[in-house]
Amino acid sequence: MRNLLNFLLKYNNLIVFLILEGIALYLLANGNHYHNSRIVNGVQGITNGINERISNTRSYLSLREINSDLASQNSSLRNTISELAQEQSIDFTDVNDTVTGQQYSYTPARVINNSVNRQKNFFTIDKGTRQGIRPDMAVICGNSAAGMIVGCSENFSVAISMLNLDFKLSARLKSNGYFGSLTWDGKNYRYALLNEIPQHISVNVGDTIETTAYSAIFPEGIPIGTVVEPKKSGSDFYVIKVALFTDFKKLNYVDVIANLRRNERLELENRFK
């Protein structure tokens, strides 16, 4: 009680001023239509501004949930497209998936750890064996190649990034079908190198690089990047600098791709090795 009295005594002039100011505004607003409308409009403007900022804040805080929902819908659409594509080719069926004949299955995941500045980069996703993830599954970001699963726990998985000196991927020029091996030289996270393309063919800046059908991990035709600089080396092959479509510094939501026919293919190929 003493503190309240001390506060009132200390700020009595300010309190009296505010009370009188409030009374004056009340009388002004009620005694004059023009001033009344101006005050009401001003208060409404302030209220609307506050409500808009609150709404924007709520929308921003819900972006993660929205992105997660969009990633799930995207994977569902990929699975549907894969099933429909298989139905269009009813002459060929998949003995490993007798329900739909689908060859590839897509699962959305979120990147929770990532590196781009090392010579051997990896990233971690928030799904593991409990959600059906296994080693040797492809990982894409949007429609572009990103890496491959190399290790799993029950609820998490680690993928080797394309930005890793040990990562190799069979890739081809979309314009003519010539294929080679795509690797990273450990320098710039935005570029990779395509090797083993013969020099007698024409390679143009801007040509699209995509995955081949030779991989038992990645589906055929996944975009990788575009040709930036085709260089002729001392051998009979180009060393082609490729601008990657995937920006690994923005890696967030990805899709993990399971090849449902991979084991069948590998078992058959291993018989002749």
The crossing angle, in degrees rounded to 10, of helices 63-87 and 33-61 is 50
What pLDDT is stored for residue 215 in this prediction? 85
Q: Which of 105, 148, 103, 104 is nearest to 125 (CA)?
A: 148
Report, at the CATH architecture level, how domain 64-270 is classified.
Beta Barrel (2.40)
Q: Which of 142, 174, 121, 172 is nearest to 257 (CA)?
A: 142
Rounded-to-integer distance, Cα 18 and Cα 25, Å: 10
* DSSP conformational letter for 235: S
Distance of CA 207 to the CA centre of its chain: 24
Rounded-to-integer distance, Cα 74 and Cα 72, Å: 5
Buried/exposed code over 139-148 (b: 16+ C-beta within 10 A; e: otherwise): bbbeebbbbb
What pLDDT is stored for residue 93 in this prediction? 31
Helix/strand number for the chain, H first, E second? 5, 12
Residues contacting 249, CB < 8 A, separation 6+: 116, 189
Q: What residues in the chain have per-residue pLDDT under 70?
A: 1-2, 4-5, 7-8, 24-102
* DSSP conformational letter for 271: T
Rounded-to-integer distance, Cα 127 and Cα 133, Å: 7
What pLDDT is stored for residue 18 in this prediction? 75
Bridge-based pairing state of the strands 138-141 and 253-259 = antiparallel
Q: Domain-by-domain residue ranges, the chain?
A: 2-61, 64-270
What pLDDT is stored for residue 184 in this prediction? 97
Distance of CA 189 to the CA centre of its chain: 16
Question: Is 0.85 topped by the overall pTM?
Answer: no
